[in-house]
Amino acid sequence: MLTFVFTSDLFSGGNVFDISLAILPIFLLLLFGALLQSKRFPAEEFWPGVDKLVYWVLFPAMLFYNISKADLSSPALPSYALILGFSLFAVSVLALIVSLINRVDRPTGTSILQASIRFNSFIALALASAIYGEEGLILATLGAAILIPSVNVILVITMVSLHGNQNSKPLSSLLIKELFKNPLILSIAAGVIVNIADIGELVFLLTDITGILARATLPLVLLAVGASLRLSVLKSSPRLLIFSTLVRLIGFPLFIGIGATILGLGPLEACVAVLFGAVPTATSGYALAKQLGGNASILSVFISVQTGITLLTLPVTVWFSQSWFGYNQLLH
């Protein structure tokens, strides 16, 4: 089974410093990727190729492999899914309210929405593995399987409704493109089918190959995410930046924490769920903003700033969630 751990031996779950040690290598890889891109190493056209490899091959392979092996009969899974779904809806409403209060134009409003509800699944899975080990990685993979289709549906419907259809295609056609031609969603569906049908032994070559690919995914993904950041755009719109960051990095984990507390989710499940609210927004939002008429330039600012801020906020959020849900006590 895939395990992706940077410093789990150092991590004891006791305090913010221990958590920072587990998280720091992940952000150092991001910064290293940004450095390599700035130096045009190994070549300027290399990183766009890596992005395509990750999107179409490596990350789908990891999602398929982990979901095909996961325990989908867990009694905690319905509550886990409900909490993530409710939190996603609540944060979406909150982001739209922020846009109305600030009286921003609709393309900017949808970029605020993207910055608020999109999550960097690569970083979330890397953190879950580094902090919570193999079991945490499986839970995070299931969380991504729940959130990725939901986020795409909300964004496509909202963006087309608020500022028109830039491609002159019917909404149903755009949804089909985003959902049924999305390699991440297709790999999630395939993993669920193999798991439920219990046919892993019949497709053992596929699971073995995807397992090998999965082992190469997260380190390369983190370098690619770092290379995609544009640190030179850290300027303009400070008020909108503050609001979108507060919604994303405080509002989202807060809603998840409230839901997990009310439904009595287990400590590990709750802490992994909080990670989806604590990580920065995804770089893939930039492409959707360009495609459907959002404000792509301001979204690139949100992405870069959030990624930097989470270096400080993540250890605190993780420590607080572990203390609140009693995860620390399980380690002693």
Digit-by-digit pLDDT tens for the chain (332 residues) are 334 444 444 344 457 777 777 788 888 888 898 889 888 888 878 888 888 888 889 889 989 999 998 888 889 999 999 999 999 999 999 999 988 988 888 888 998 999 999 998 888 998 999 899 989 999 999 999 999 999 988 988 888 887 665 556 666 777 777 777 788 889 999 999 999 998 877 787 888 899 888 887 878 888 887 787 665 555 555 777 788 788 889 999 999 999 999 999 999 999 999 999 999 988 778 777 877 778 887 887 888 788 888 888 999 999 999 999 998 745 53
**Closest C-alpha to 110, from 299, 307, 306, 304:** 299
Predicted local confidence at residue 184, as pLDDT: 85
Dist CA 185 CA 156 (whole Å): 15
Length of the chain: 332
| pTM of this structure | 0.85
Neighbours of 183 (CB within 10 A): 15
Which run of H or E residues covers position 320? helix 296-325
CATH class of 16-330: mainly alpha
Predicted local confidence at residue 307, as pLDDT: 83
Predicted local confidence at residue 13, as pLDDT: 47
Identify whether the C-beta of residue 244 lies closer than 8 Å to the C-beta of residue 117.
no
Read off the tokens for 230: 């544009």
User: Strand, helix or coil at 170?
Assistant: coil
Dist CA 242 CA 234 (whole Å): 13
Q: Which residues contact 158 (CB under 8 A, 6 or more apart)?
A: 92, 96, 110, 113
Predicted local confidence at residue 23, as pLDDT: 80
Q: What is the Rg, in whole angstroms, of the alpha carbon atoms belonging to the chain?
A: 19
Peptide bond into 42 cis (omega under 30): yes
> In the block, which residue shows the tokens 């459907």?
292
